[in-house]
């Protein structure tokens, strides 16, 4: 037990050092007028530095609250745009699918270097998952939530893809957190890859079905690879800028390989046995564990 506590303290000190280096680097870059070129988000970094004056539990609770409010506003913004006819409700759902998980991960630098910080972060999607379960199972009556999240209008739909989505987000935060590319890439393949596969497939998939699954298309699979790779690469560069992970050329090559493998898995006729949110994330985790060494 003492050894485990020592390891936890060492990890916490390492994250503290990473946060300090990232904040110091950001300040120097800002003074040199190069922050935009480096791609370090000043707003997030500024909030993180201001929050560093708080004790860890208070900072993490505030970060969790801020993330929850931000996620709520984010989803409501898409709902409002859909109601105004900017885009369809189906497209709105997929844009929320792509961006919600990415937004969630992007708030992780707000949390402290405490070993318990990841659990504050993981609580956010778990709470949303509990809400979806209550609505989907009929414990709570919320017609607006059913309409916003489901495809066909049935509350039982909330017990499948949407619920699984929150489980994967929580698992990535709890198991890998922000110091491993594995969880980040698994999360973004589920969000960006799967989301863009649906959008591109619906728009350009007619007439080019896959030989092994007529419900999927070459266009959709290409959309998965490109979308998943771009979103994953952006998030990896983001966390590299904060000093939590080290990203090199080989990291992006491995990410491209993972995107291709996940696209293949997503294209298989397996949805009657396992949801895409699980199959894609598990594929990314398995390959990421092997490739990100």
Best CA proximity match to 192, nearest among 82, 92, 94, 87: 94
Helices and strands: H and E segment counts in the chain: 13, 2
Element (H, E) at 164: helix 161-175
Query: 78: Cβ–Cβ under 8 A, 6 or more apart, which residues?
Result: 92, 95, 96
Q: What is the three-state SS of 2-71?
A: HHHHHHHHHHHHHHHHHHHHHHHHHHHHHHCCCHHHHCCCHHHHHHHHHHCCCCHHHHHHHHHHHHHHHH
Over residues 183-217, the pLDDT tens digits come to: 999 999 999 999 999 999 999 999 999 999 999 99
Per-residue confidence in pLDDT tens, the chain, 293 aa: 444 444 444 544 545 554 444 444 433 333 333 344 344 556 666 666 666 667 899 999 999 999 999 998 988 888 788 778 887 878 888 898 999 999 999 999 999 999 999 999 999 999 999 999 999 998 988 887 787 777 777 888 889 999 999 999 999 999 999 999 999 999 999 999 999 999 999 999 999 999 999 999 999 999 999 999 999 999 999 999 999 999 999 999 999 999 999 999 999 999 889 999 999 999 999 999 999 98
pTM for the predicted model, two decimal places: 0.81
Angstrom CA distances, 110 to 24, 52, 73, 133, 267, stand at 15, 9, 18, 28, 36
Question: How far is residue 220's CA from residue 213's CA, in Å, rounded to a whole number?
Answer: 12
CB 92 within 8 A of CB 79: yes
For residue 164, the Cα-to-chain-centroid distance in whole angstroms is 13
Residue spans of the domains in the chain: they are 3-10+60-292
């Amino acid at each position: 037990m003492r050894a485990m506590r020592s390891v936890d303290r060492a990890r916490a000190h390492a994250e503290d050092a990473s946060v300090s280096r990232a904040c110091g680097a950001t300040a120097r870059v800002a003074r040199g007028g190069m922050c935009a070129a480096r791609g370090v988000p000043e707003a997030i970094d500024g909030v993180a530095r201001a929050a560093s004056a708080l004790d860890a539990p208070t900072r993490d609770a505030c970060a969790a609250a801020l993330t929850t409010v931000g996620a709520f506003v984010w989803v409501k913004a898409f709902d409002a745009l859909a109601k105004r006819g900017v885009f369809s409700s189906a497209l709105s759902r997929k844009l929320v699918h792509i961006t919600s998980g990415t937004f969630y991960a992007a708030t992780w630098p707000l949390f402290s270097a405490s070993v318990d910080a990841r659990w504050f972060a993981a609580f956010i999607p778990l709470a949303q998952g509990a809400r979806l379960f209550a609505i989907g199972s009929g414990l709570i009556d919320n017609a607006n939530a059913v309409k916003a999240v489901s495809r066909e209008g049935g509350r039982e739909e909330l017990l499948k893809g949407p619920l699984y989505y929150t489980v994967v987000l929580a698992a990535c935060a709890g198991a890998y957190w922000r110091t491993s590319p594995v969880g980040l890439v698994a999360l973004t393949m589920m969000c960006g890859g799967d989301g863009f596969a649906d959008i591109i497939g619906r728009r350009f998939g007619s007439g080019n079905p896959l030989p092994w699954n007529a419900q999927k298309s070459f266009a959709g699979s290409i959309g998965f690879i490109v979308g998943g790779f771009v979103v994953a690469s952006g998030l990896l560069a983001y966390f590299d800028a904060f000093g939590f992970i080290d990203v090199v050329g080989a990291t992006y090559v491995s990410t491209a390989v993972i995107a291709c493998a996940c696209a293949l898995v997503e294209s298989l006729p397996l949805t009657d046995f396992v949801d895409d949110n699980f199959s894609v994330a598990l594929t990314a985790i398995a390959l990421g564990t092997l490739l990100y060494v």
